[in-house]
Amino acid sequence: MEGPSSGDVPRSDLHYWLALARTPGVGTITFRRLLSRVGSPQSLFELPPAERTRVVRLPPAARAFLAAPDWEGVEADLAWAASTGHHILTLHDPRYPESLKEIADAPPLLFVHGDPALLARPQIALVGSRNPTAGGRQLAEDFAAALVRAGFVVTSGLALGVDAAAHRGALRAGGETVAVAGTGLDRVYPARHRGLAREVVAQGALVS
């Protein structure tokens, strides 16, 4: 369908961002190229198919999807965002971190559980081995604690080993920490870090 018909519930700008993000064959660089040419995802969806094809060359699967988007999937994303502490930031959202926009393949959407304001704070990433020595794990915790006391947000990946130690060191020092997940935020991986993820959300943010 070409955007909402008169019988549909009106769709917000975020609906179109989420639909474009689900489009097969549209990665981060193509997404940004489309934005530079049409201004917004909604503008792209509202173009006639022939004109849309002239804007940027897209594979057949992407063209077919744009003609009939997965609105049901989009609604599932929006239902997630309706929960307390859940946020979806687009590249045009003022809360989207400016430093992240500077990379060529900046993700067009960030899913955040926790405080999105932390993403704009000075951060230091602390990552390492999944299987560190006891001394390495303790060193990671100590580094993280020192960093948060110096005013930094500690960012890591919620993985086993050094990542988890970094988050725990920041939390135990009363600081803030951001966990960038390799999965969607509807699950925690590894599962044994569910408790740690809850602590991160209470004192920082999970991001995907």
Phi-psi region of 7 (alpha: psi -120 to 50; beta: other; left: phi over 0): alpha
pLDDT reading at 20 higher than 70: yes
pLDDT reading at 6 higher than 50: no
Rounded to an integer, the average pLDDT of 8-19 is: 84
Pairing relationship of beta strands 109-114 and 204-207 according to DSSP bridges: antiparallel
Query: How confident is the model at residue 128, as a pLDDT?
Result: 94
pLDDT reading at 80 higher than 70: yes
CA 56 to each of CA 1, 41, 105: distance values in angstroms, whole numbers, following the listed order: 20, 13, 17
Query: How confident is the model at residue 60, as a pLDDT?
Result: 92
Among 160, 169, 159, 171, smallest CA distance to 139 is for 169
pLDDT reading at 5 higher than 50: no
pLDDT in tens, 28-43: 999 999 999 999 999 9
Q: Which helix (H) or strand (E) holds 123?
A: strand 123-125
Name the percent of the chain lying above pLDDT 90: 88
Query: How confident is the model at residue 4, as a pLDDT?
Result: 40
pTM for this prediction: 0.90
Rounded to an integer, the average pLDDT of 130-146 is: 97
The span from the CA of 128 to the CA of 207, in Å, is: 19
Report whether CATH 3.40.50.2000 matches the domain 114-207. no
pLDDT in tens, 140-186: 999 999 999 999 999 999 999 999 999 999 999 999 999 999 999 99
Residue 1: pLDDT band (50, 70, 90) is: very low
Rounded to an integer, the average pLDDT of 108-134 is: 96
Residues of the chain with CATH 3.40.50.450: 114-207
Query: How confident is the model at residue 10, as a pLDDT?
Result: 61
Q: What average pLDDT does the structure give for the chain?
A: 92
The one-letter code for the residue type at 98 is E
Residue 55: pLDDT band (50, 70, 90) is: confident
Q: Which residue's entry shows tokens 């925690």?
A: 188
